[in-house]
Structure 1
Amino acid sequence: MQPMEFRSGPPHRVVVLALDGVYPFELGIPNRVFAEVEGAYEVVTCAATDDRTVATSADFTITVGHGPEALETADTVVLPPYDMTRIAAEPPEPVRAALARIRPGTRIVSICTGAFTLAAAGLLDGRPATTHWALAGLFRRMFPQVALDPEVLFIDDGDVLTSAGAASGVDVCLHLVRSDHGSAVANRVARLCVVPPWREGGQAQYIEQPVPDEGASGTADTRAWALERLERPLALRELAAHAGMSPRTFARRFQEETGTSPGRWLIQQRVHRARHLLESSDLPVDRIAAEVGFATGASLRQHLHAAIGVSPQAYRRTFRAAPAPVG
Structure 2
Amino acid sequence: MHRVAVLAVGEVVGYDLCIPPQVFGSATGKTGKPLYEVRMCAPSSAPVRVSSGFSAVFEHGPEALADADTVIVPGTRAEGPRRRGALPGDVAAALALVPESARVMSICTGAFVLAAAGLLDGRPATTHWAYADEFRTLYPAVDLDENVLFVDDGDLLTSAGLAAGLDLCLHVLRADHGAEVANRVARHNVVPPWRDGGQSQYIEHPLPVTDDGSTAPTRAWALTRLGDPLDLTGMAAHARMSVRTFSRRFRAETGLPPRAWLIQQRVQRARHLLETTTLPVGKVAAAAGLGTAASLRAHLNATIGVAPLAYRRTFAPTAPS
Structure 2: which 5+ runs fail to align? 29-33
Contact map agreement 2:198 2:255 (CA 8 A) in 1: no
Alignment partner of 1:47 is 2:37: no
Q: Structure 1 stretch 29-38 or stretch 203-212: which is displaced more?
A: 203-212
Distance 1:201-1:213 versus aligned 2 partners, 3 A rule: closer
Structure 2 counterpart of 1:160 = 156
Structure 1 counterpart of 2:69 = 75
Structure 1 counterpart of 2:57 = 63
Distance 1:297-1:111 versus aligned 2 partners, 3 A rule: same
Structure 1 letter corresponding to 2:256: T
Contact map agreement 2:19 2:165 (CA 8 A) in 1: yes
In the TM superposition, residue 313 of structure 1 has moved relative to its aligned partner by 1.0
In the TM superposition, residue 296 of structure 1 has moved relative to its aligned partner by 2.2
Residue aligned with 1:21, SS: coil
For the residues of structure 2 that align with 1:201 and 1:163, how far apart are their CA atoms?
14
Alignment partner of 1:13 is 2:3: yes
For the residues of structure 1 that align with 2:258 and 2:234, how far apart are their CA atoms?
11
Contact map agreement 1:153 1:205 (CA 8 A) in 2: no
Instruction: Identify the structure with bigger relative contact order (alpha carbons < 8 Å, sequence gap 6+).
Output: 1
Aligned with 1:238 (options 234, 240, 261): 234
TM-score (norm 2): 0.92
In the TM superposition, residue 282 of structure 1 has moved relative to its aligned partner by 1.4
The alignment of Structure 1 onto Structure 2 pairs a total of residues equal to 312
For the residues of structure 2 that align with 1:322 and 1:113, how far apart are their CA atoms?
40
Structure 2 counterpart of 1:310 = 306
Aligned with 1:212 (options 203, 208, 215): 208
Deviations 1:235-263 (Å, cap 9, x if unpaired)?
A: 11111111111101000010111121111
TM-score (norm 1): 0.91
Segments of 4+ in structure 1 off by > 6 A? Answer: none
- State the percentage of identical aligned residues: 58
Distance 1:140-1:277 versus aligned 2 partners, 3 A rule: same
Structure 2 counterpart of 1:128 = 124
Structure 2 counterpart of 1:187 = 183
Deviations 1:68-112 (Å, cap 9, x if unpaired)?
A: 111001000010001265513111111111111000120011011
Structure 1 counterpart of 2:262 = 266
CA RMSD of aligned residues (A): 1.9
Structure 1: which 5+ runs fail to align? 1-10
